[in-house]
Amino acid sequence: MDRYDTIVVGAGVAGLTAARLLTRAGRSVVVLEARDRIGGRVWTVRDGDEATDLGASWIHGVDGSPVAAAARAFEMPMTEFTVGGYQPDSRPIAYYGPAGSRLSEVETAGFVDDIRAVDEALPAVIEASAPDASYSDVAEQVLRTFGWDEARAERVREYLRHRSEEQYGAWIGDLAAHGLDDDSIDGDEVVFPDGYDRLAERLSDGVDLRLEHVVSHVRWDDDGVSVSGDRGTLTAAAAIVTVPVGVLRSSDFVIEPALPAPVAGALSRLEMNAFEKVFLRFPTRFWDDEVYAIRQQGPQGLWWHSWYDLTSLHGTPTLLTFAAGPAARAIRDWDDAAVIDSVLSQLRRLYGHRVGVPTAVHVTHWQDDPYARGSYAYMTVGSTTSDHDDLATPVGGVLHLAGEATWTDDPATVTAALCSGHRAAQNVLGRDVPIEDAWTD
């Protein structure tokens, strides 16, 4: 075809949702995808029958979730796995103190009470804080009001540091205080034992896809767009660009003329995080049956502090831990064997010789993936929540940015990607279409 109605750049959930809706509306659409697979940051690998989600795993609350609606329509099996955010006691957690021994129930309860007290005080302090306050600034302000001794304050400070790393993949001092989620989760959280990638596969039904097509230039004017890359140039009346913020900000991806100030400004304040997953499958379970997570406190837990028990997904004893924020940056150059050794050394501190040799491991490298450049975007100090939506302001009526970072309500999620793809399709069509059209026949 000489000229398409719409070119979609990126076959992640945002791009596929937009392309499916536009295709269903009768538009000529092509999706250009750099990788040799679809799904983007939804990526499943399989060891035999066991699926491992190297990118997104969870729907954080199925009630009213369009992703859950799509997954049900696509008959994707879901397993309830409620994490409840990085909460101190939303589910049974085995806490280990700095010396490596398990905390008693009383000690755990005392710690949980301290976290709860800080969490209750934080919203008012955030509300009153300066626009350029970091999460660290507001946390310190709250801690000062309690007047705790240094050891007690440090224990809470460490927890808040780990929480900002695990939820946002960012150092607590780099994260905007106003950029924190409200953490409200509606309904159960679920994961996909057969893999999240089924969502992308099903969304791609009937969509004209070009894999291994790396886009480097998007040019726009009143007449439309031209999109160029290693396979030549295509033209269209409109383009929907869904590449991650890290790609948008790189010199390998050029938009001409440059994005207008409100969009460019929003882009400059969002940053890709560093958030890697480490999965370990073991021959036998060595941790306690009744807990869903293990957490260690103190300096030894600087990098490896939390492990989640994923055994319920496939029956194989499996732990998932994260290298997030500074930890992810620090291990960036390590090979996988060094990462696994480092994780195992911490588990052996807690469980000694009971820790077996893993039968399978997976370590992600999203930071070094040229088509991701991190796991998801976070709001740097000085940004505002509206930066997400501002990024999606249509440019010249022909260029539309979409993707997880362009959705204010629940950024950094598959939900955000899906909803942003829906909005971009509507903007191209100039009318509303039901989001359900993306998953109904």
Ligand X SMILES: Cc1cc2nc3c(=O)[nH]c(=O)nc-3n(C[C@H](O)[C@H](O)[C@H](O)COP(=O)(O)OP(=O)(O)OC[C@H]3O[C@@H](n4cnc5c(N)ncnc54)[C@H](O)[C@@H]3O)c2cc1C
Q: How far apart are CA 65 and CA 83, in angstroms?
A: 16
Q: How far apart are CA 372 and CA 162, in angstroms?
A: 23
Contact residues for 337 (Cβ-Cβ < 8 A; gap 6+): none
Which residue among 15, 179, 301, 317 contacts ligand X (CB under 6 A)? 15
Q: If binding means CB under 6 A, how many residues of this protein chain bind ligand X?
A: 41
Residue 241 or 381: which CB sits closer to ligand X?
241
Q: Which amino acid type is present at position 423?
A: R
Which residue among 243, 398, 401, 419 contacts ligand X (CB under 6 A)? 243
Residue 14 or 331: which CB sits closer to ligand X?
14
Which residue among 70, 103, 379, 414 contacts ligand X (CB under 6 A)? 414
CA nearest 384: which of 209, 130, 212, 194?
130
Site membership for ligand X, residue 9 (CB under 6 A) = yes
Judged by CB under 6 A, the stretch of 7-15, 313-321, 341-349, 380-388 that binds ligand X is: 7-15
Q: How far apart are CA 276 and CA 325, in angstroms?
A: 9
Which x/- pattern over 370-389 shows residues binding ligand X (rule: CB under 6 A)?
A: -xx--xx-------------
Contact residues for 95 (Cβ-Cβ < 8 A; gap 6+): 102, 103, 107, 108, 111, 295, 296, 297
Site membership for ligand X, residue 195 (CB under 6 A) = no
CB of 307 to ligand X, least distance (A): 16
Annotated binding-site residues for FAD read 33-34, 215
Residue 178 or 277: which CB sits closer to ligand X?
277
Which x/- pattern over 33-72 shows residues binding ligand X (rule: CB under 6 A)?
A: xxx----xxx------------xxxx--------------
Structure token digits, residue 420: 């942003």
Query: DSSP secondary structure string, 359-411?
Result: SEEEE--GGG-TTTSSSSEEEBTT--THHHHHHTS-BTTTEEE-SGGG-SSST
SS3 of residue 306 by DSSP = strand
List of residues contacting ligand X (CB under 6 A): 9-15, 32-35, 40-42, 55-58, 214-215, 242-244, 247, 253, 275, 277, 364, 366, 371-372, 375-376, 403-404, 412-417
